Structure 1
Amino acid sequence: MEWFYKFPHMNDDSLRDLKKMIDDGFRGFTRAYGDSIESFFSPLQHFLIAVDRFMTQTPWPIITLMVLIIAWLAGRSLKIVVGCLVTLLLIGYFGMWEDTMRTVSMIFVCTVLSIALGLPIGILMARSDRFQRVVHPILDVMQTMPSFVYLIPVVMLLGIGRVPGLIAVVIYAIPPMIRLTDLGIRLVDKDVLEAADAFGVSNSQKLFKVQMPLALPTIMAGINQTIMMALAMVVVASMIGVQGLGQPVLKAIANQYFTLGIFNGLAIVGIAIIFDRVSQAYGKRLQKHREIVNG
């Protein structure tokens, strides 16, 4: 009756051999193709370094003015602009400006990469039910996998540094971009599509001139969620060398520096609120525009 109380499982020797075979195979793959994979991501590293230098070496008044202009153009809301200004001034006053700019540069590159990869995948899912059925389980796994697990294969392939952290963040943050692109295109009114077909537009014209503009508010919601999830990975990614606000938080955890952790944690929250409010305001403007067009 032992099997009734103790779940039957593979014997320890067989399980150990299986794990060893997988680990050895992955190490062999890393030794054989690690350099090639690293060189493949070299342009991404140059892009990240260029954005990082721009954000950290540009004088703070110019960066602040750029953020305020973007906030105004996105939402046309004085309240959001003032909120952004106060947040940035407080971050600078408490001496966290450089780390914040490094975090913003990382989030910017992650968002650009997520859009560049997620948008085409979401479009393909919207156009093919079969492809959607294949991709959905993969996205489910990506969204439920603990964030620390993403670091293991990336570090084994590329080592410690900003690019491995960037890749781990993108993997963690890209599912909402893919899902909401797919959803937004599928939610486009069928009558509008039939009208487009009646005018004899091609598939590409229908996609870029009808479906994408009407799906843009939903796609913007996906971008918003991607940014929020990327910010949530900042502290985790700091464990493998990603510079920014995550490293002081990690240092505070390791050394029990209460104020260091709280201040940098609040800076992350402040940046998250800026991104969230600006992107949501832009999404709401697009939604109103779509309602006017449809109305």
Structure 2
Amino acid sequence: MDWLFKFPQVSPEALLAIKRGIDGSLKALTRLYGQSIENSFYPLQRILTFFENVMTGAPWPLIILVLAGIAWFASHKGSVVAGVVGTLIAIGLLGLWHDAMLTISLVFAATIFSIGIGIPLGIMMNRLERFGGVLKTLLDVMQTMPPFVYLIPVVMLLGIGRVPGFIAVVIYAIPPIIRLTDLGIRLVDKEVLEAADAYGCSRSQKLWKVQFPLAMPTIMAGINQTIMMALGMVVIASMIGVQGLGLNVLQAIANQYFTQGIFNGFAIVGIAIIFDRISQAYGQRLQKHRGGAA
């Protein structure tokens, strides 16, 4: 009766052989093509370096002015602008300006790449039924997989550094924008689509001139979630050499530096609030505009 209480499993020798075979194949792949794979990502390295140089090399008053202008454009609210300016000044006074700019540059670059990849995939997910089914399953796996797992294949292929960390951040942060792009297009009223058909709109015209503009508030919600997930992954990506506030938090945990961890955590929360308020305010403006147009 022991078999009822002890689950049968593959023999340890066979399991070890399988593991060794898989690990050996991956190591052989990295030995043969590792340099070629790294070279193929050199343009991405240059892009990330450019973003970092812009954010860290620009005068701090200019950075605050630009972000305050973006906040005003998105919200048209003085309270949002004051919150952005106050948070940035507080981060600077704590001596975390440089690290905060490194984090913002990585999150900004990851968000741009996620939008550029996620919105087309969301449209394809909506348009192509079979592709959408496969992509939905893949997204389910991606959103339930522990964040640390994303680091394993990236590190094995590319080592440690900003590029592997960036790729892990994008992979982790991209599912919301894909899902909500698809959802936003699906939520467009059928009456509006029927009216577009009555006016003789082609399928592409109906997508870009009717469905996509009406889906923008939902897409903005996806962008908001993508930004938040990218910020959360930045701390984990510091384990593979991504510099910025996340690395400071990791060092504080390793060395039990309480104040360093609290201050850097405050800075990360502040940046998250800035991005969240700006993206939410812009999404609400789009929603009001949509309601007024309706």
TM class, shorter-length:
over 0.9
**Residue 29 of structure 1 pairs with residue 47 of structure 2:** no
Distance (whole Å) between structure 1 residues aligned to residue 164 and residue 252 of structure 2: 23
When the two structures are superposed, what TM-score results if normalisation uses the length of structure 1?
Answer: 0.98
Distance 1:249 1:8 in 2: 43
Who is 2:273 aligned against? 273
1:181-220 to 2 correspondences below 5 Å: 181-220=181-220
Shift of 1:271: 0.2
- 1:140 partner amino acid: D
Cα shift at 1:4: 1.1
TM superposition score normalised by structure 2:
0.98
> 1:108-123 counterparts in 2 under 5 A?
108-123=108-123
Q: Distance in 2 between matches of 1:20 and 1:2?
A: 31
1:4-55 residue CA offsets vs partner (Å, 9 max, x unmatched): 1110010101111111111111112222322222222221111110010000
Q: Which amino acid aligns with 1:216?
A: M
Task: Note the C-alpha offset of 1:126.
Answer: 0.9
The DSSP-based 3-state class of the residue aligned with 2:260 is: helix
Distance 1:177 1:264 in 2: 28
Q: Which amino acid aligns with 1:204?
A: S
Q: Give the equivalent residue in structure 1 for 2:262.
A: 262
In structure 1, what is the equivalent of residue 57 of structure 2?
57
Aligned-partner residue type, residue 91 of structure 1: I
Moved over 4 A (4+): none
List aligned pairs for 1:1-295, cutoff 5 A. 1-294=1-294
CA RMSD in angstroms comes to: 0.9
3-state DSSP of counterpart to 2:83: helix
- The number of residues matched between the two structures is 294
Instruction: Give the whole-Å Cα distance in 1 for the aligned partners of 2:142 and 2:27.
Output: 23
Gaps of 5+ in 2: none
CA distance in 2, matches of 1:187, 1:44: 35
Q: Deviations over 1:60-101 (max 9, x none)?
A: 000000000000000001000000011000000110000000
Structure 1 unaligned blocks of 5 or more: none
Identity within the alignment, %: 65
Deviations 1:228-266 (A, max 9, x none): 001001111011110110111111000000000000000
